Amino acid sequence: SLDLARLFGTQVGIAIEHLFVIDELERATTRDELTGIGNRKHADALIQSLEEGDALILLDLDGFKEVNDTLGHAAGDQVLQDLSAHLRHCLRDSDTSARLGGDEFLIVARRAFADPLAVADRILIGWSNSGRSTTITAGGALHDPQVEPSMTFDRADQALYQAKGAGKNRAHMWYAGLGGRPSPNGRTPRTV
């Protein structure tokens, strides 16, 4: 019976070790190697997991190409790593970030019913106050459970392009009540 207990203990240990390996493999397939936050695969899963009241916010670094062109790709990589660290610092425990690719990032702010623009503002203002050579433009949309998550992504993308067209370094939100046009929540567009 002691041999049976040892055999059982060994088997349990092996099973736990396998679970750790599987967890690490899963993490490796959903994490961006450079920044340590979620990668595109993780972003796609976040989009599909949207629930009513969740805000989807897209971020784009303004001036990132100039950093790469003038200071080199190592400096650009550092900016991306710094932004990822900034996002981890700014976001609530319930919020999640991922890198879509290049200098584009995605945030899912869970249960952001009251003011999704506040999430974007916190990110933009904190980044601007850090004295970086780049700024951030954001576009977002609240998820409506009556539409597909991909439509929420498209709406956030529309808001991002409107914010970039309005001068960058600002955040706009898409609101259905305004004829489907992106809007800064009835307020003056947020410019840092």
Residues with catalytic annotation?
103
Going by the DSSP 8-state scheme, the letter that residue 131 receives in this structure is T
80 close to 103: Cβ distance less than 8 angstroms? yes
**d(C-alpha 101, C-alpha 40), whole Å:** 7
Could you tell me the sign of the dihedral formed by the alpha carbons of 45, 54, 99, 180, in that order?
positive
Q: Are 142 and 112 in contact (CB under 8 A)?
A: yes
How would you classify the pairing of strands 170-174 and 96-101? unpaired
Q: Which residue, 72, 65, 112, is CA-closest to 92?
A: 112
